[in-house]
Chains A and B, each alone.
Chain A
């Protein structure tokens, strides 16, 4: 989850009548997780959910706090959005590359300070990573407005064009930037399938941005900058609109006057940005009460919405119109409005209710059968172990004595972060033998069993089966002992008889292994583990084992239905 730093001193300044502890206690009730509180550095580290990018700044959090602390109710408004004649022209060649650009101008009498600049840049990063999907969908450029001249031109150009990138010492070609700069390497893939790439030029043909990679150096924002130009380029107009809305409210909270500008695009005509119209959702007052389990009056619901920094209108006949500020991009359905009411009402005020409708609960038949399987095995003296379904190739190789994974039916994991997890196991035998190898200092005899899933492929699809594996390790265990256990288990658990025709496999001692048949079906295998396998795992004790397909047995014996009598 993304993180934002909040200054407790700022909270005390904004809410002078409240104790700091009381304010901090409210943060979780806005859906914020307090990760750390560093008093000496005046810092509360907060995690926010990705659906609330407006929480990526202190101002965004304060805006919401003001609502639930009754400081300010209803939709926050932007002081003034002045119209302006500034224009950005969009080049038709960018249709498939990155067709959308939105922007705004923010002016103030005094320059931006260090704290504000840090907040803006951190917010820019969060927005580009989240809503911007790591700049693939949208990216943001912050510029010194006074260092450029309108109209701007958003154009598709060849990679040979040169300009001086942000903090660069000289001019580089776009190609150089993509191949040599860190940001180019990191985000260049976004442009890789296009011959032409987007740049933003001012009226004097200065390159002010190479989206979504890097800004030009001429419009660099520093602590002398008091007027800003902000552009968002995107492949998705909703994403661009949302990001610019969130930035608009942030800049307005910082005391900037906002000026709109005109985008002239061959794709969507002339459009004035930022687009800060609140959106509206219509629903029944009753729906809110029903979904929350409350009996609030219409007026109470309207106040709850205001405390969540929305507005509600009672449209009569039980109809509610909810007005939502444009930076709240997470609200688009009546359930979202209901949650805002709940947060405005205070989640801690929601007492528990206990549903009265009767349901006869029961375990599923498989759990019931597996429990009985466990009972019998425990009675025979076996201890249950559980292992992961994902295992390493090396273990499979060591136990099944196969050099290449010739078994085409194996399923493997793409890109695992742990080498011990590479395959979905198609047998429980390797994990069980591995377990013995980890317990060589424990008392023998060791008798273990596991019930687990095994995986194989048929016709491009994956098949999952429950499997049972039972094994004995001690110095004199042999085929007779393990088969006696198999027959006892089948008899006591299922009243079933198995046959075991001879069958040799690489990992069993030749002549000491068999397949297990139930009725006419092969269900598994049984035998004495081959000394080479024991040697591979540094085991100095004999092991005998059987494994069979438990799902198959359940099917063959038609156990998959609960029969009480």
Chain B
């Protein structure tokens, strides 16, 4: 017989957590045993289908009490083992009695006193033996009468013939004195009656309840257990290369393994959930005919603000909101090579806002506050008459980080240029995009952006939160923006923060979670959501 201890013993945590799996044991197909189970069954099987007590099992299996109890519990769920609980009562003399020599019950004491000639009740009570304890005397009288030992007329006690016979109580007590203990299940009828009577009386006997567990293999499962316990040189647990190559497998029986126990999860490679979601949205936009563009995160004030018709004294340009960049050497961004573009923008600012536009204020580098400067450069380079492009990229705001504000986040932006492009088409494009994201209820409100007119903001209804959420802004680029770029046709533009969508998607309340790089979270987001 192979030694069980060669199997891994520390696996029992895994199995113990999974008992629920076996609850519907009628349909269970048992194909494997835990080493603990195997040890228990081997011991039980030695006595065929007879009961084995817990202590015997512990002794024979060399398992601990806990292991045995746990293993038996699993086997019971699998309906391989039955448990029986024997209860018994161990009876022995109360220490007060066992010390007495000879052992005399109060009723016998009374008989002995009367026998000596003390017959008056008051005298009996005050006798040396009873020492004024009238309760004990009356108790003794009750049992004497029951035994038919005495009669009392007035206050005089007279012994009857039976008083010389010993009572069943006395017999039982005498036996206990000899054997020290008795088990309730083993005593005869007469003794049982005595025991019932004695146990009601104070400080005569001690009755200790005993519980004995015993186990046996379920009768109907004996064959199954046999097959699970097959062990011999012909039985192996694992297939090995040696077994395969040598051809030994032809003569071997393979032990059944636990095919159901859950196992630890593996580490895995995966795309970042936010990147994955960005890709999904890109696919939607590509499907709607948008092509992707890309551009720098560092931009000149010219492209980030001036070209968007944002005056140089506009509050959005404050250090408060925008990150200006510096270095140990001076930094200044190259303005567009197309000088007429710069002149045109300058002229439009001077005329419309009536201030002295300063080219020096256009040169500082900023971290882009939106993706629109990239779109503008794209339009300026290609001056398309019709086009449909998008980008999803990082933007920056000099804000305090909170659960709903990040310093750095993503923006999605798209434009549609065409001769007949109009506001209702913009509403259409936006509705189609939202519908592809699964958002059905939307509404549009007028709003303001410095570089679009008309301008709208979209509100989408979120069923999970049962409320309207502000999502993307949109509008038609103002002629003050498009003319200097050389674009003649209307440009429909829409866009906004991407993380808002991502928070809905990943069910997050705190936007910071997206960038926390908490590996537990990254692993917990399923690929298909």
Which A residues fall within an 8 A CB radius of B?
28-31, 49-52, 133, 136-137, 236-238, 290-294, 330, 332-333, 335-336, 338-339, 342-343, 347-348, 350-355, 357-364, 366-367, 371, 374, 377-390, 408-418, 421, 424, 435, 438-439, 442-443, 445-447, 453, 455, 457, 460-462, 464
Contact = CB atoms under 8 A, between A and B. Distances in A.
Nearest to A52: B448
Contacts of B428: 352-355
A52 to B, nearest CB: 7
A353 B323 contact: no
B431 interface: yes
Given A294-B424, A383-B267, A413-B323, 4 more contacts: A359-B388, A383-B269, A385-B522, A417-B407
Interface string B493-529: 0000000000000000000000111111011000000
B446 A29 contact: yes
Contacts of B293: 364
A415 B407 CA distance: 13
Nearest to A446: B519
10 contacts: A238-B354, A338-B454, A352-B425, A353-B425, A355-B418, A359-B289, A359-B290, A383-B268, A416-B407, A424-B367
Given A384-B272, A388-B407, A447-B267, A333 B422 contact: no
B271 interface: yes
A421 B400 CA distance: 11
Interface residues of B, number: 92
**10 shortest interchain CB distances as A-B pairs:** A293-B424, A293-B422, A352-B428, A359-B289, A339-B454, A49-B448, A378-B269, A361-B286, A384-B272, A353-B424
Given A377-B269, A462-B298, A386 B448 contact: no
Contacts of A411: 298, 325-327, 331, 365
Interface in B383-421: 386-388, 394, 396, 398-401, 407-408, 416, 418, 420-421
Contacts of B420: 290
A49 B523 CA distance: 42
B400 A417 contact: yes
A291 B267 contact: no
A439 B268 CA distance: 16
B102 to A, nearest CB: 75
Contacts of A455: 297-298
A362 B387 CA distance: 12
A431 to B, nearest CB: 9
Nearest to A439: B519
A226 to B, nearest CB: 36
Contact of A291 (B275, B289, B490): B490
Nearest to B388: A359
A464 to B, nearest CB: 5
A528 to B, nearest CB: 21
A421 B327 CA distance: 15
B333 interface: yes
Nearest to B331: A460
B425 to A, nearest CB: 5
B198 to A, nearest CB: 65
A361 B287 contact: yes
B334 A416 contact: no
Interface string B222-259: 00000000000000000000000000000000000000
B324 interface: yes
B445 A28 contact: yes
A304 B447 CA distance: 18
B359 interface: no
B273 to A, nearest CB: 9
A457 B289 contact: no
A292 B453 contact: no
B453 A335 contact: yes
Contacts of A355: 416, 418, 421, 425, 428-429
Contact of B446 (A30, A294, A389): A30
Nearest to A237: B354
Contacts of B421: 355
A426 to B, nearest CB: 11
Contacts of B329: 408, 457, 460
B269 A438 contact: no
Contacts of A51: 448, 450
Contacts of A371: 279
Contact of A333 (B298, B418, B478): B478
Given A335-B479, A446-B519, A462 B325 contact: yes
Nearest to B468: A28
B138 to A, nearest CB: 76
Given A236-B354, A411-B331, A418-B401, A390 B478 contact: no
Contact of B398 (A49, A416, A457, A464): A416
Nearest to B396: A390
A383 B268 CA distance: 7
Contact of B367 (A336, A413, A417): A413
B136 interface: no
Contacts of A382: 269
A335 B454 contact: yes
Interface in B25-62: none
A352 B444 CA distance: 11
Contacts of A290: 420, 422
A526 B296 CA distance: 27
A389 B408 contact: yes
Contacts of A293: 422-425
Interface string B450-478: 10011110000000000000000000101
Given A387-B517, A418-B401, A347 B444 contact: yes
B7 interface: no
A366 B392 CA distance: 13
- Centre residue among A342, A413, A461 by max chain B CB count within 10 A: A413
Interface string B281-311: 0100111111111101110000000000000
Nearest to B392: A367
Given A357-B418, A362-B291, A418-B407, A347 B446 contact: yes
Nearest to A405: B328
Contacts of A457: 327, 329, 331
Contact of A367 (B292, B327, B387, B447): B292
A28 B447 CA distance: 9
A361 B515 contact: no
